[in-house]
Chains A and B, each alone.
Chain A
């Protein structure tokens, strides 16, 4: 049973490996015969892949939470993916990734937007603020303090988006009543249903009158 001969899987693999090897080697010899030596070296160092990768990227200068970054990114990278996957700023959350939940809300040049529907390649020289950029050292932003005080969350997943949106809501002048806050915060969905406490938190910060 244990012998190699009786194990069909191994026999097939060996066969296919040797066939694949043969094709690979003969292909390589044919290629070598017709290819200038410089390109062979390029291929060995995977330069072609590196060049292709480079050609498919665009340069991007972007400032995030006061720190400048010079990057090369694929044009299809969303601002959300850039923040989370390349800059390791995972405070901004990916909820629906389709502009329906608001969890990815960040400020770009002082305006709240949805980072999941924003191509990073279109944000040349933009100034981005995420939830990580709010606190002053260990001192939390007034809106962060208010969310804790009023229990403006349960699971916390929508909270970074809610806080970024709440700050903008006040700055825009749309926090003059509970109704207005609800209307202008409607792009931020909270599945735990902490809305009442979120409105409390925003109202308190608004009434506190601190500069945000």
Chain B
């Protein structure tokens, strides 16, 4: 690892001011992804701004919403009693990610900013447009079993790796950020980007902006919810596909529904068409099967990941069946 300078920021204002002065400076919170990337020389900042001293760790239940500080740990949020009660989908998704040791270290803000686990991105001997723009994409025509089936481009077919973010996309969360120009809010589903011609940009944060919190509006998805993650081993592996399913049922009729998918795109993939299809219908396996097939329409595969179309449809169906039966 290249050596670097490290400073501790005492307020979000000084953190942002400090990072603005440096070209190759980065914020560091949990470090579970960044330290690994630095060891592999995928990123090599000159300066790290340690933001762990900032007062951004609280989970606050406010009128009509919950505010979760960007430095709240993944395990802290997953195991918070009120989060479990009011936002069980988020709790389930968080518990499905990484291992308990990593969840104790990783923060909410850092989770949102973690990089893809595409092996070409991590191997500096390989071409990767995300790591080195215009060097090519190793995964197209290469080993792409883990890769995207929605919204990819000729530049990049990597997928977003987070589980937490799939639940947050389904729950219509908002991202609060602070930068040199002040504070602003970004809709969660607009936070991450599709690769297009600029796969080096994972999200719509502007230079030197800091995530300070996420907010989830209150909702009725507290009972019939499920996060189903399909992976190569039972635990501690990234998703091949995952589905966050939330149903608001009345007498077995679907009043409202949220569906989002992980492991299939460069960002958390909200299944709005399938949601619209399900609204107002009566719960049945057949209806869920049709929603799964509908959601996977328009998927494009790359050889190694052809199986994701069938797996995706089945996972959506299964997640909805489990959610409805709770």
Question: Smallest Cβ distance from B186 to chain A, in angstroms?
Answer: 27
Contact residue among B1, B50, B100, B234 (Cβ-Cβ distance under 8 Å from A122): B50
Over the window 30-63 of chain A, the binary record of Cβ atoms lying under 8 Å from chain B Cβ atoms (1 yes, 0 no) is 0000000000000000000000000010100000
CA distance A111 to B291 in the complex (A): 43
By Cβ-Cβ distance, the 4 closest A-B pairs, closest first, are: A187-B99, A186-B235, A186-B236, A75-B6
Best-surrounded residue of B1, B35, B38, B50 (most CB of chain A within 10 A): B35
- Residues in B lying within 8 Å of A, measured CB to CB: 1-6, 8, 28, 31-32, 35-36, 38-40, 48, 50, 52, 98-102, 104-105, 234-236
Interface membership of A95, Cβ < 8 A: no
Over the window 92-109 of chain A, the binary record of Cβ atoms lying under 8 Å from chain B Cβ atoms (1 yes, 0 no) is 000001110010010000
Interface membership of A15, Cβ < 8 A: no
Contact residue among A105, A117, A168 (Cβ-Cβ distance under 8 Å from B35): A117
Residues of B contacting A113 in the complex (Cβ-Cβ under 8 angstroms): 101, 104-105
Contact residue among B6, B40, B48, B235 (Cβ-Cβ distance under 8 Å from A183): B235
Q: Closest A residue to B99 by CB, please name it.
A: A187
Given contacts A122-B50, A169-B100, contact A74 B35 (CB under 8 A): no
Q: Please tell me the number of chain A residues within 8 Å of chain B, measured between CB atoms.
A: 32
Q: Closest B residue to A187 by CB, please name it.
A: B99
Q: Are B48 and A75 in contact (CB under 8 A)?
A: yes
Q: Are A114 and B48 in contact (CB under 8 A)?
A: no
CA distance A8 to B50 in the complex (A): 57
Residues of A contacting B39 in the complex (Cβ-Cβ under 8 angstroms): 97-98
Q: Could you name 29 residue pairs across A and B whose Cβ atoms are closer than 8 Å?
A: A74-B3, A75-B3, A75-B4, A76-B2, A98-B39, A98-B40, A102-B99, A111-B104, A112-B100, A113-B104, A113-B105, A114-B101, A114-B102, A117-B31, A117-B32, A117-B105, A118-B105, A119-B6, A119-B31, A121-B6, A122-B6, A122-B31, A122-B52, A168-B100, A182-B234, A182-B235, A183-B234, A186-B234, A187-B102
Contact residue among A99, A122, A182, A184 (Cβ-Cβ distance under 8 Å from B32): A99
